[in-house]
A and B are shown apart, each in its own frame.
Chain A
């Protein structure tokens, strides 16, 4: 455990030793704030239009059911936050393995007491901690909106669990891509490509017919993340997101082993 703990600390120190970590955290906080206030502005306008009476008064009964904070602000903000993670997470993961390989510091790591499994585990753990920090940076506005809308803490927890597992899946994709190359650029571009393809297969289902369509749909990140946004937590969805981490872990572990026999 001592070597593993040392590696996790080192990974976090390396991450925060570069401006990228701060830029990413600032990016998430800014994007969330902008999207939140933009949706809130539009929501207020809609609210005003529906509730205004001809005499300039206010009629709350005239507001239709679909004009609510949950549907007009909270869910769109969460949706965009998910997409924001696709844009930012690969920037964090691209360096994790690729940089070690390019600098040849992997040789130092692999001559310590860290086993290849521990090296991969340590790097995954540190990256997942950072994903949690990214979500923390985005926490205040959605939390305010959901509490104000009276949706309850359970819904907030479900949404953040969804965002967290989505972040883990995206980080896993990025880490697997980083483990297969010494180029950070290649790692980032390939992670973007894989993440965007897996985010939503609905575009492909129109061409694939009834057999392959549902299968592709089941593989998509977006519909499963969407259920969390609606406050629904299913074990099958959690297993699905965990599957990304397991596959990526195996890919990274294998790539370290391959490097010894190449």
Chain B
């Protein structure tokens, strides 16, 4: 069975980064980022394309190892305790990381199994995911034949199969039509307080609607962090991005 997380009473677990650095050759993608996401919090990570948001998330999931500094998920290092950390994480990557040749049910069954679910627990999780993400009608279809909106639903569904206390979502509404965007936001909004949500986006409206605190990254550096209303409350959002880019340079 899936290892149990030390979930806080309000649901969710903490994520903490200290002086986190990630280099790709000479390029610094994440440059000395220190921040803490509280248990049960909906936290937004903002920044223009190439700001280092996805790299930061990949360091949290353990897909990449830090060049310097540290990251902790529920007090555990993704580099040293990858399995325990992965048991606590549901991850929706930027573009749908799906297997187009598999059927929706088969794909979700595989991910559930890969997350340690089996037998009745897997069947129950599968039935719940298909219903919650309204995938029952397409459960027998090939993932590759689904619309982008449905593919994103499948992507979200796989992240919730093992009921993780931390959900990391990278650009969840990119490329979706307004209706699909609203559906995805409704799903994410329903998580509030029950899980920790780390939302990575460059859509300021999305961040305002879904998060209670945000951090802004620019060229890998943390240039702002605080309550969403405070950080994004005043002024022209585009000017904020331009400003942060200037500060970073």
A residues at B contact (CB < 8 Å):
2-3, 5-7, 9-10, 13-14, 17-18, 103-105, 107-115, 260-262
* Nearest 3 CB-CB pairings of A with B: A6-B113, A17-B101, A112-B114
**B95 pairs with A113, CB closer than 8 A:** no
B141 touches A (CB below 8 Å): no
Q: Which of B90-146 contact A (CB under 8 A)?
A: 91, 93, 95, 97-99, 101-102, 106, 109-118, 142
CB < 8 Å neighbour of A113 from B83, B91, B106:
B83
Among B58, B63, B98, B114, chain A packs the most CB atoms within 10 A around the CB of: B114
**A110 pairs with B115, CB closer than 8 A:** no
A-B contact pairs, 18 of them (CB 8 A): A2-B116, A3-B116, A10-B99, A10-B102, A10-B113, A13-B102, A13-B110, A14-B102, A107-B61, A107-B97, A110-B62, A111-B91, A113-B83, A113-B114, A260-B63, A260-B64, A261-B64, A261-B65
**B62 pairs with A112, CB closer than 8 A:** no
Q: Mark B19-38, 1 if CB is under 8 A from A, else 0.
A: 00000100000000000000
B86 touches A (CB below 8 Å): yes
Q: Which of B32-63 contact A (CB under 8 A)?
A: 58, 61-63
A-B pair count, CB < 8 Å, reads 87
Considering the complex, give the chain A residue whose CB is closest to the CB of B61.
A111
CB < 8 Å neighbour of A2 from B65, B117, B158:
B117
**B63 pairs with A111, CB closer than 8 A:** yes
**A113 pairs with B102, CB closer than 8 A:** no
In the bound assembly, the distance between CA atoms of A260 and B65 in angstroms comes to: 6
Given A2-B117, A7-B114, A9-B113: A115 touches B83 (CB 8 Å cut-off): yes
Q: Which residues of A contact B65 (CB under 8 A)?
A: 260-261
Minimum C-beta distance from A12 to chain B (A): 11
**B98 pairs with A112, CB closer than 8 A:** no
In the bound assembly, the distance between CA atoms of A3 and B95 in angstroms comes to: 24
**A112 pairs with B86, CB closer than 8 A:** yes
In the bound assembly, the distance between CA atoms of A111 and B89 in angstroms comes to: 8
Q: Which residues of B contact A9 (CB under 8 A)?
A: 110, 113
**B93 pairs with A2, CB closer than 8 A:** no
Among B86, B89, B113, chain A packs the most CB atoms within 10 A around the CB of: B113
B17 touches A (CB below 8 Å): no
Considering the complex, give the chain B residue whose CB is closest to the CB of A118.
B114
**B97 pairs with A108, CB closer than 8 A:** yes
**A110 pairs with B63, CB closer than 8 A:** yes
In the bound assembly, the distance between CA atoms of A6 and B91 in angstroms comes to: 18
B223 touches A (CB below 8 Å): no
Q: Which residues of B contact A114 (CB under 8 A)?
A: 114
Q: Which residues of B contact A105 (CB under 8 A)?
A: 97-99
Minimum C-beta distance from A218 to chain B (A): 40
CB < 8 Å neighbour of B114 from A3, A13, A18, A104:
A3
15 extra A-B contacts, CB within 8 A, seeds A3-B114, A108-B98: A5-B113, A6-B113, A9-B110, A10-B106, A13-B106, A107-B97, A108-B93, A108-B97, A108-B158, A110-B62, A111-B86, A112-B114, A112-B115, A115-B83, A260-B65
Given A10-B110, A13-B102: A107 touches B86 (CB 8 Å cut-off): no
Given A111-B62, A111-B89, A260-B63: A14 touches B99 (CB 8 Å cut-off): yes
